[in-house]
Structure formats: structure tokens, C-alpha cells
Amino acid sequence: MDERRRIARTDVLLADPRLAEAAGRLGRDLVKAAVVDAQRRARAGEVPVDAVADAAAAALPESASGLREVVNATGVLLHTNLGRAPLSPAARDAVLLASGATDVELDLATGARARRGRSMLAALLERVPAAGAAHVVNNGAAALVLAATALAAGREIVVSRGEMVEIGDGFRLPDLLVSTGARLREVGTTNRTSPGDYAAAIGPDTGFVLKVHPSNFRMTGFTREASVAELSGLGVPVVVDIGSGLLAPDPVLPGEPDAATRLAAGADLVTASGDKLLGGPQCGLILGRAPLVERLARHPLARALRVDKLTIAALEATLRGPRTPTAEALHADVRTLRARAERIAAETGAEAVRCDAAVGGGGAPGVVLPSAAVALPEPYAERLRLGAPAVMGRVEDGRCLLDLRSVPPESDGALIEAIRAAGS
Ligand SMILES: *Cc1c(COP(=O)(O)O)cnc(C)c1O
């Protein structure tokens, strides 16, 4: 008899306890696909005919989502392709809790409707007392779109020619702003813009003056920019896009603007991303004078840009919780990183080397963070990327470097196992 006729039928295989349990967790379609593929491999002689259930169970995905867990060993702390900031354990717990029914818009004491995300907004204002009010939207770009739409549609935004920035993947802030129906009134030159340039451009059509932090490039030499303080007396709102979401100054990043300092200098609104240096979920923060923030929050477009309960939960836990993984990585002591690299290298037969890490996420382009890496032969890069969990390193001078500044110390064990698996 043909051996292959002994391959179990699909319904019989789906009754295997492991596969039945998985069908409850992952959905029947994903499990069935794994079963059908294992049967095909058995017919092709790649799997013993009596081990089809084992093969199907081994090939099951870890989750019903196509997204895979990745250890970020690139040395780029905020890697856009890896989802920027990793959430803190506190934020992950909060997301899980909020994922069911939750009182995001309900006062449990009275049973009445309550302001959406009020406790998260309170957390934001506690961290930035200089702000009169706060509002949160989908991302930094959405914060700018809302400001432009609510304050300057059909009118002018006065902006320096040195701050017409492309943020990445072909997205240009000037195009984004113009898409709202606002007109850009460009002032100054690429390298020099003075307060007088702004003053001369301001008139009855001005919606606001916009300052954009050139977060992903640096301009040096014969340059001049107007400070927020110099612009705050011009009689029109000053909106400052700080980009990275630092709420207060950080001595490790002296050139990085923060919300508290900009508001103290006279900014009427500050906008920023939540998933860059703040270390939280993707969202856009709007902080500033209460009447302006309310105008934005009450604009019809605000409904289309509003954040979901998972983001609200993650952001509040990021703000109230312990130091974020991003802050830990940014402030990690280089001697600790070297000791970790040496231990991992000793356990895996690799070499520990010194290297430089970067903030990334289009932020702090001039900042070099001294770091330490485990160096492996270049072919490891692909094998590690295809492992579970996937490990993403960087290839430098013909070697695969696993930079430990972007790897949380809890992942060292997983990294050692991944290196061993990739080497066998
Ligand atoms: C990152 C960035 C943005 C865009 O923010 P997203 O959250 O990616 O939408 C806008 N402006 C500046 C200065 C930035 O650095």
C-alpha cells in the first residue's frame, strides 16, 4: 500500500488536542492552513506520515496577528521600521487591561458620561504644569493638521524657509499643512531667518506663526533662527512643533527642544509625537493655552483624529509609570553595556566590540551614544532576522553587530539563544 494513503485526514488532525486548543486561540483557519501544509509535506516525503500532527503543531504561528516579535539590536533606539518606542511593562499591562470594556468615557461614580481620557490628560498636565490644557491625537502629523485646520484654514501660516522639513518616507510638512486649506507664508532664507522677517509677514490673514524643530538634520555655519521668545510678542499664536516629545530638558540631549521650556518661552501651542523620546504609544500631543487647545479639541476634524482606548491607556501608564525602555536605553551606562556584550560574547564564542548607537526616529541627528556590541560573521544577520524571536542587528564593515544599547537587559538570554540557534 502507498505509505501516503496513511496520512491522517484533515478533520482527524484538527481533533488532535494541541491543534484543537490552538484553533480556540488562533482561529480555525490558521490552524487548518498549518495542517494542510503539513499534509502536503508528508505527501512530498518531507515529514514522516505518522508525524503530520507534530509538524502542524510545530509550524503554528505564535499569534493570530502577522506581526512578529523582534529584538531591536540595531543600536537605533527609536527605529521607525520596528515601531519606534517599545512600550514599558506598565504601559503593556495598561493596554491589556483596557482592551476589554473600560471606563474610558464613563464616570463609574455617577454612571454618567465623562470626558474621554480625562485621567490621561491629567497625567499629561501634571508632567507639564506650564500647559493650561492638553489634547491627544493619532500622531505628530495629525496634531499639526488639526492646528492648521482649526487656526489657519483659508488663512496663512508664517514659517521660516529653514524649517520646511521632510519627516521621512517622502512626507513633507509643507505639503501636509497646505492640504488643510491653509496657505504657507514663507519667510527668511534657508540658513537665516530673523524675528523681523516674521514681523513683516504678519497681517490680518495670519492664522499663526509656526516653528518646526529640524529634528532629522543639522544646520551649522552662517545661520540664524528666531527664538520662541522673540516670536511670542508678535500678537499672533505661536505654534511650536518640537517633534520628539521630550516634556522637560534632558542633559543627554542638549540640542533637543522640550515642551516645558518652549511653553515657558511663550509658545501658545506645542505639538509632539508620543512614540519618540517620550517612549510611549504612537500619538500626537498638543499642549498649551486652554482656549486654543479647546478650539482644536472641539473642531469636527478632532473626531477623525481621536485616539483609541488602547493608546489612552498606554500613554497614561507611560506618563505615570517607571522610566520607559527608551529612557533606560538613552541613559544606560556604557560600562554596563560593555559588560553585557562581553558576557554574551563569552557564552556564544562571539567577539565584544565598541560601537556607536543613535537615537533615531528622525531625532537628535548629531548625538552619538557610545555603546557596545556583539560582533558576528555577516551571514548571521539574515539567520537572526529569520529566527523566533527575530533579531535585527546591523551590518557594518562586513560584520553583523548586535548593539546592546537598544536591547533591554531582560532580552540578553533570548539573544544568547538566538545566536546559538543561528550558529547551529
Ligand atoms: C516626527 C516628527 C513629526 C511627525 O510626527 P509623527 O508622530 O511621525 O506623525 C513632525 N514634526 C517633527 C519635527 C518630527 O520630528
Same domain for 304 and 168?
yes
Domain assignment of residue 64, yes or no: no
Cα(273) to ligand 1 centroid in Å equals 6
Same domain for 97 and 240?
yes
Q: Taking 60 as the threshold, does the pLDDT of residue 37 lie above it?
A: yes
Same domain for 216 and 348?
no
Work out the average pLDDT over 397-422.
97
pLDDT at 287: 98
Domain assignment of residue 156, yes or no: yes
Exposed e or buried b for every residue in 332-352, given b needs 16+ CB within 10 A?
Answer: beeeebbebbeebbebbebeb
Mutate to test the pocket of ligand 1, among 160, 215, 239, 278 (most ligand atoms within 8 A of CB): 215
User: Quick check: helix, strand or coil at residue 22?
Assistant: helix
Mutate to test the pocket of ligand 1, among 210, 225, 273 (most ligand atoms within 8 A of CB): 273
Selected residue with higher pLDDT from 1 and 86 = 86
109 near 93, Cβ under 8 Å?
Answer: no
Domain endpoint, select from 296, 322, 348: 322
Domain assignment of residue 231, yes or no: yes
Residue with CA nearest ligand 1 atom 12: 243
Same domain for 219 and 350?
no
Selected residue with higher pLDDT from 169 and 193 = 193
Atom of ligand 1 nearest to the CA of 216: 15
**Mode of pairing for the β-strands spanning 269-273 and 238-243:** parallel
Domain assignment of residue 163, yes or no: yes
Any idea which of 4-8, 21-25, 206-210, 349-353 has the lowest mean pLDDT?
4-8
Q: What is the pLDDT of residues 189-234, one digit of tens each?
A: 999 999 999 999 999 999 999 999 988 888 888 899 999 999 999 9
Helix 28-43 × helix 17-26 angle, to 10°: 140
Same domain for 272 and 368?
no
Q: Taking 90 as the threshold, does the pLDDT of residue 365 lie above it?
A: no
pLDDT at 235: 95
Work out the average pLDDT over 55-77.
95
Same domain for 223 and 239?
yes
Same domain for 132 and 279?
yes
Cα(140) to ligand 1 centroid in Å equals 5
Which protein residues are within 6 Å of ligand 1, measured from CB?
A: 139-141, 167, 212-213, 215, 241, 243-244, 273, 284, 362
Cα(278) to ligand 1 centroid in Å equals 13
Cα(116) to ligand 1 centroid in Å equals 24
Domain assignment of residue 151, yes or no: yes
Any idea which of 165-174, 178-187, 336-345, 374-383 has the lowest mean pLDDT?
165-174
Mutate to test the pocket of ligand 1, among 241, 242, 262 (most ligand atoms within 8 A of CB): 241
Q: What is the CA radius of gyration of the chain?
A: 26
Q: What is the pTM of this model?
A: 0.94
pLDDT at 1: 57
415 near 402, Cβ under 8 Å?
Answer: yes
Q: Domain of 338: which CATH number?
A: 3.90.1150.180
Q: Domain of 225: which CATH number?
A: 3.40.640.10
Same domain for 278 and 414?
no
Same domain for 24 and 155?
no
Domain endpoint, select from 292, 322, 352: 322
Same domain for 199 and 137?
yes
Residue with CA nearest ligand 1 atom 1: 243
Cα(89) to ligand 1 centroid in Å equals 25
Domain assignment of residue 397, yes or no: yes
Cα(279) to ligand 1 centroid in Å equals 14
Residue with CA nearest ligand 1 atom 5: 140
Q: How many domains does the chain have?
A: 3
Domain assignment of residue 150, yes or no: yes
193 near 162, Cβ under 8 Å?
Answer: yes
User: Quick check: helix, strand or coil at residue 130?
Assistant: coil
Residue with CA nearest ligand 1 atom 15: 243
Residue 4 confidence class, pLDDT cut points 50, 70, 90 = confident
Same domain for 264 and 399?
no
Alpha carbon dihedral 44, 46, 49, 53, in 10-degree steps, equals -110
Domain assignment of residue 65, yes or no: no
Same domain for 119 and 232?
yes
Burial class (CB in 10 A: 0-12, 13-18, 19+), 101: exposed
Cα(37) to ligand 1 centroid in Å equals 43
Mutate to test the pocket of ligand 1, among 78, 79, 146, 167 (most ligand atoms within 8 A of CB): 167
Q: How far, in Å, are 119, 156, 341 from residue 299 at the CA level?
A: 21, 18, 51
CB atoms within 10 A of CB 5: 7
Q: What is the pLDDT of residues 223-255, one digit of tens each?
A: 999 999 999 999 999 999 999 999 999 999 988
Mean pLDDT of the chain: 95
> Domain containing 20: what range?
3-59
Q: What percent of the chain has pLDDT over 90?
A: 92
